[in-house]
Structure 1
């Protein structure tokens, strides 16, 4: 493919891995090709799909010479496919890894690259997404406010992620500085379902983190074939909790002197994830749907993560629910203070994420 980049304009290489998402692939590709103010190249990697994904991809490439296609002869899995594109192909100043079932908003790449050009210390930029269901990409009115750029010192951003124990970066919005990506390395195949969370934390060890506020940067599609759905719902979330902890422990093990209080951060992170597990059990009582096996798995994880869980406040509230029983607790739910406090705290966290990304 000939290099048609324009001097002086930001160049973004976009990797779109695809497995059985042929019907949704055109939305992702067209959302990139329509970006103003940047030069783009797209690599679609079909991971041996057994639908028409490869044919759809080749048709998109035939229609626009900015699009290249690779088709795997056998399925390599999503992590190796990601790394093939972001490490083995991308060479522009900036890179975006975009799932074939997602898309980006108009102007998203210009906003993300403008932030990084203004702030050379930033290694990656992210933003919020529109979440939608259906076959047709939604349209939204053009933003009436200018984007607001927020820059977080990498270590501070990382500390908050460790202490909250959860990812806040919607993948379709994460534009990275390619040189930092090569320094950080690829996604970790040992934790396939939290590899994205782990790599953003590794970026924060190397560079500052940018956030585009006041304008949405991507579209996250919800459908029956989302790759994350089985992982997030299996075992009432135990697997997700384990991989979240594994991702954080992986990064803390690489932190060195960039995080001077690693031991304390790990202790607090373990207590946080143990609390999350116990809260999941409490919610099953609130809903009157208690599965003894899944509750035991969650409590076993909490004990594995934090040791003696009886000292955690969440444990005391769970013991009260267990005493009352799953038939009585749902009737008292409007009066349960802990549930109300959780809702208020979640709203405050959501508001903070809208304003600053964390």
Structure 2
């Protein structure tokens, strides 16, 4: 069956099945200045039941003493350490570790994040039951200091044909997957050859889309598969702030996917235009919001609007563009939106978040 044919089939849900084998999982832990988080991160990996795990910590020349912490953790024979003498950056660090993974499955887990109890067994159960699935994801619960009590009872499994998963995400041009909860077949990772350094902020999005072009996608529903730590030192917050860059890199992801992937996406190239139009709408919506704010720290509305038009020139002929121009002429609002409007916006955000948490697809 071709990807185009598969793309006409919707996702299926099924009852989860127990893991009846004992697969091997390699967990790569890139670390830069996160030595204080390493012990808890590694402990969450080594405590996983039902699978045989090995851990590879790749320290990217951290000046905070992270490598000494990693060496202490390597007293456990399941833990290895690679030490960089000079900083090589996060993409090179990821790819070096992933290339050395020896398990049946591979996970990339930042040193400041955690796996929840039973996470790897839940994901590999789906992968073992469905050899056509290239990677599995779930939900990562955010935390700052102390993680919440995790949900650990699986409601169901979702299985998407790769083309359908690509279509659903191209309709919004957003990345629905956090990295910590992803378990990928090592054979799939070798095929994809890791992360693409040309899009350092959106390389994960490109990897998931490329994996979907080569196989099916699975999701474990109803549980927390990982904990994602939110703090001011997050790499993506420190280095890649700004919606202009975020949207520009998502556009680059789409160009790389649909112009370079070749035969795996040949029958799905119509999704390229669909995704670019969605991305342009996102940029223009943000431009309108920025035009209505008297906030010097916000993105310049003209920059976002120019980006929208560069991604999809046809957006200039739409009612959305005319509304943006009216907002720009009116200038920043002097009064805050009404309490009712703010409440409606909060409710809308909460509903969207809830649907993403349940389905694994952003809307």
TM-score range, shorter chain: 0.7 to 0.9
Q: What residue ranges of structure 1 are gaps of 5+ in the alignment?
A: 1-6
Distance 1:267 1:118 in 2: 35
Classify the secondary structure of the residue corresponding to 1:211: strand
List alignment gaps of at least 5 residues for structure 2.
1-19
The structure whose residues are more often helix, as a share, is 1
Q: Which residue of 2 aligns with 1:191?
A: 199
Decide whether the 8 Å contact of 1:28 with 1:101 is kept in 2. yes
Asked if 1:353 is matched to 2:356, the reply is yes
Correspondences of 1:247-262 after superposition (within 5 Å): 247-253=253-259, 254-256=261-263, 258-262=265-269
In structure 2, the partner of 1:310 is: 316
The secondary structure found in structure 1 opposite 2:177 is: coil
Q: Distance in 2 between matches of 1:301 and 1:49?
A: 36
Equivalent residues of 1:129, 1:217 under 8 A apart: yes
In 1: Cα distance, 2:298 partner to 2:47 partner: 51
CA distance in 1, matches of 2:97, 2:230: 24
**In structure 1, what is the equivalent of residue 106 of structure 2?**
95
SS state at 1:13 partner? strand
- Distance in 2, matches of 1:333 and 1:312, equals 30
TM-score by length of 2: 0.87
Equivalent in the alignment of 1:4: none
Q: 2:45 aligns with which of 32, 48, 67?
A: 32
The aligned residue for residue 211 of structure 1 is 219
Tell me how far apart the structure 1 counterparts of residues 297 and 37 of structure 2 sit (CA, whole Å): 36
TM-score (norm 1): 0.88
Q: Secondary structure at the match of 1:212?
A: strand
Structure 2 residue aligned with 1:72: 84
RMSD of the alignment, in Å? 2.4
In the alignment, what sits opposite 1:108? 119
- 3-state SS, counterpart of residue 182 of structure 1: helix
Shift of residue 354 of structure 1?
A: 2.2
Measure the CA separation in 1 of the matches of 2:71 and 2:59: 10
Work out the CA distance in 1 between the residues paired with 2:151 and 2:306.
Answer: 49
Paired residues of 1:245 and 1:270 also in contact (CA < 8 A): yes
Q: Is the 8 A contact 1:288 1:329 kept in 2?
A: no
Q: 2:88, 2:298 → 1: CA distance? A: 37
> How many residues align structurally?
341
1:266 and 1:346, CA in 2 relative to 1: closer, same or farther beyond 3 A? Answer: farther
Cα pair distance change 1:8/1:213, threshold 3 Å: closer
